[in-house]
């Protein structure tokens, strides 16, 4: 080719330019095509990176909202379970308070009846002439005492159940001050004044 160029150079300039264009033209076209492809690839990569960054941000935002929504739902569920347990505790407390009130009233009535009848049973025991009459008077006196003892035991059981519920309520609201804690003894008041 170099020999042809030499000949062409001697022969004329337009011919050399034509050969130069014939040799360099396809190279320039190929170079331009490579450059255009590279530019298209780079711009496509940039667009994909921007789209990927945008999609990632949108997905992170959506995940953040989903996470917040789940946390709110869990907090709500915990609050509802807590309220349900508190209501169960209050229902139990009311039931036990009614049982304690009923047992206390029954015990008070029984004590009243026992106090009223005890002198009569004791008098019957003292006046009993036969062994059979004494046994019946002792049995009536014992039955009165036994019934009072049973009611006292029921009253105690009801009070213990009520104390258990009170403890459960105190554990549910530890920031609530009990009436005993809010009262100060005279010693505490005088020591705080000094």
Instruction: Give residue-wise pLDDT tens across range 37-59.
Output: 999 999 999 999 999 999 999 99
Residue 185 phi/psi, 5-degree rounding, is -75, 160
Token readout for 88 is 């169960």
pLDDT for residue 188: 52
pLDDT for residue 47: 93
Q: Does 10 score more than 70 pLDDT?
A: no
Average pLDDT over residues 58-81: 94
- Catalogue all structural domains in the chain, each as residue range(s) with its CATH number: 63-173 (1.10.287.1700)
pLDDT for residue 25: 83
Average pLDDT over residues 58-63: 93
**Residue-averaged pLDDT of the chain:** 78
Whether residue 132 contacts residue 49, with contact meaning beta carbons closer than 8 Å, is answered with no
130, containing H or E segment? none
Q: Measure Cα distances from 17 to 3, 5, 24 in Å.
A: 15, 10, 10
Query: Who wins on pLDDT, 63 or 175?
Result: 63
Residue 43 phi/psi, 5-degree rounding, is -65, -35
Rounded Cα distance between 89 and 99, Å, is 15
175, containing H or E segment? none
Token readout for 114 is 């026992």
């Amino acid at each position: 080719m170099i020999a042809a160029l030499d000949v062409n150079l001697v022969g004329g300039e337009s011919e050399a330019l034509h050969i130069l264009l014939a040799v360099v033209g396809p190279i320039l076209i190929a170079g331009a095509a490579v450059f255009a492809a590279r530019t298209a690839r780079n711009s496509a990569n940039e667009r994909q990176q921007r789209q990927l960054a945008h999609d990632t941000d949108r997905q992170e935002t959506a995940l953040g909202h989903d996470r917040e929504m789940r946390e709110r739902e869990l907090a709500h569920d915990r609050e509802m379970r807590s309220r349900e347990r508190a209501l169960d505790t209050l229902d139990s407390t009311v039931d036990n308070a009614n049982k304690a009130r009923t047992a206390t009233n029954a015990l008070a009535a029984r004590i009243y009846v026992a106090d009223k009848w005890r002198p009569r049973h004791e008098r019957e025991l003292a006046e009993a002439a036969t062994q059979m009459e004494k046994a019946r008077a002792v049995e009536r006196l014992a039955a009165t005492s036994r019934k009072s003892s049973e009611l006292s035991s029921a009253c105690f059981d009801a009070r213990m159940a009520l104390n258990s519920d009170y403890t459960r309520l105190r554990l549910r609201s530890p920031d609530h001050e009990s009436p005993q804690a809010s009262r100060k003894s005279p010693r505490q008041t005088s020591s705080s004044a000094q």
